[in-house]
Each structure stands twice: as structure tokens, then as C-alpha cells.
Amino acid sequence: MVEIKDQKFGYVSIIGAPNAGKSTLLNALLGSKLSIVSPRVQTTRFRLQGIAMLGNAQMVLVDTPGLFSGKSRLDRAMLDAANRAYQDADILVLLFDLRQGVNLDLLRLLPAHGTTKQQRFYVLNKMDLADPARINAAEKAIRQADEGARIFVISALHGHALEPLKQALIQAIPTAPWLYPAEQLSDISERLWAAEITREQIFLQLAEEVPYGIYVETEKWEDFKNGAVKISQIIVVSREAYKPIILGKGGTQIKRLREAAQAQMAEVFGREAHLFLFVKVRPDWQENRQIYGEMGLEYNS
């Protein structure tokens, strides 16, 4: 056990455009699957905090919704979540997809102020999909904007070149007692985590058919004496036309969703899981104040 005087603790917020790989990087640094990942933009809807132990440093890694200028209430709430994560961070990891280049204009969506001691790391992701010329151009663009920038070129998906980033984070984290038990992976509730697992499967299996406006609610959670858990969830869609897509012919599609999500829940929670899925139509779910509260988002006008 690391003595308290040697412990380090801090908050690391991962900020970037949609699909830059923020959730993949969080999972890679944790060494475990926490944040859901899909090809859909804005898969992450709220501040998701993973707790990573790297050496003597305990880091609260904050996965944030992608930076983009949206008009809906949900879009504004997600941007606000990213802003709050930015302001609270000891270290800000600015993540860029090398295939898209470096768009520093996105940072203008953030507030003009952070903490006075906040450090910035620029991370260029998906190095396996970019040639040296593109990487050099991205590094040059960053150094023109920030001469002393600390730049890391990685592949979060494949775990390439992550060690220099990890070591830099360990060095930069403030000296302070750990806030959580060393074995704790996240502060997210199991009910919300289970809902995110199902939502991920919907995006993975129905990326083309189902729109962005979908929500999964864990309605019931029942623990059994033998250690198993029964989980009942509602898949909320905004239009009646989307319900048969989720169900599939003869219920075949929702069965595939259930089986895949149930298997992942059993692995994540380390016990037998029995998942039951239902589909409901709620056209105005994005205006429901309670749902925003469950996701940890502010319900703003």
C-alpha cells in the first residue's frame, strides 16, 4: 500500500470533437471497459468518471460529450457538461483525430477560464490511420498556437504509444491523498452503467436505422440471494416508427440486443445477469427534467 504522503490525486478531463476517441482513450487508460463506444457522434451524453490507478497516482478520468455547437436542449446540456469538466480539471487532455486534422477553433466553445494551475496535454489519436506528413502538420499547427505544447501521438484503440502519456500524467498529477478505494473503477451507478451498455448495443447493431434520439432507462433492479441480478429496462424512442425497428420481425432484433447486452453486463458486474427489455414511445423525452437529472445533466432553458 502506498503511504498517504506519497499519494497523488487529481482530475483529468478528456476534451475533443465528436468521435475523436475520448471514450476509447478513457477505457485504455483505465485498462477496463467503462465508457461506451460506437461510430455514432455524441455517443457520450454526460460526464462519465473513471478512476485509474497509475503507479502512486489516482486519477479521476472524465469522459465528456464531444465539443460541437448544437441547438437542442440536450445538445446544450452536453456542452455544459464538457464545460464543467474543463473548469474542474487539474489536467486537460485535448484529443484530436489525426484523420480530421487539428481544429483549435473547437476550443472556443469552452469557457475562457480554467483553473490557474491547469496543465494541457495535446494528444493526437489514431496514429495508425495517418501518414507521417499528416502527423507533422498536426504537430506544427499545435506549436504555432502553443509554443511549449506537450504533444503525444497515440492510438487509443490499439494501445500504441500510451506509456509516455501515462508517465506524463503521473508526473503532472498533484500530490494529495487518494479520494477513492484503490479497487474502485468508477463513481457511476450500476443502474446507469447497465443502461449505457444496452444503449451501446443499440448503436452498434442499429447504427443506420435508429436515430440519435434514443434513451435507455433501467426501470427495475433485483438482486437474488445466489448473486444473480434481474434487470428490467425501457428503450425509449421518440417516434412510433422506430419501435418495430428495435423489436425486429417476430422480436428477433430485440432478442439480439438483449443477448449481447446481457452477456456484457454479466462480464462487467461479475455475476449472472437476466435482462428484460421493453420499448416505449415518448415523443418529448428530451424535454423531461427527470431524465436529465438521471444522466447528471443540467436542465437548462
**What are the φ/ψ torsions at residue 299 (nearest 5 degrees)?**
-90, 95
What domains, with CATH codes, occur in the chain?
4-172 (3.40.50.300), 190-294 (3.30.300.20)
Distances (CA, A) of 231 to 17, 76, 198, 219, 255: 33, 31, 11, 8, 15
Is the Cβ–Cβ distance between 124 and 151 less than 8 Å?
Answer: yes
| Per-residue confidence (pLDDT) for residue 67, from 0 to 100 | 46
C-alpha cell at 224: 437474488
Of the chain, the percentage scoring pLDDT greater than 70 comes to: 75
Q: pLDDT tens across 181-210, in order?
A: 888 887 778 888 898 889 888 888 887 776
Is the Cβ–Cβ distance between 94 and 15 less than 8 Å?
Answer: yes
CA-nearest of 256, 289, 290, 294 to 275 is 256
C-alpha cell at 111: 469557457
Of the chain, the percentage scoring pLDDT greater than 90 comes to: 43
Instruction: Indicate the pTM of the whole model.
Output: 0.68
Q: pLDDT tens across 202-248, in order?
A: 888 887 776 566 888 899 999 999 999 999 999 988 888 889 999 99
The CA distance from 170 to 234, in Å, is 41
The CA distance from 22 to 13, in Å, is 10
Using alpha carbons only, what angle is made at residue 94 by residues 88 and 97, rounded to the nearest 5 degrees? 145
Is the Cβ–Cβ distance between 205 and 256 less than 8 Å?
Answer: yes
**Residue 146 above 50 pLDDT?**
yes
**Residue 261 above 70 pLDDT?**
yes
294 Cα distance to chain centroid? 16
**What are the φ/ψ torsions at residue 111 (nearest 5 degrees)?**
-60, 160
**Residue 36 above 50 pLDDT?**
no
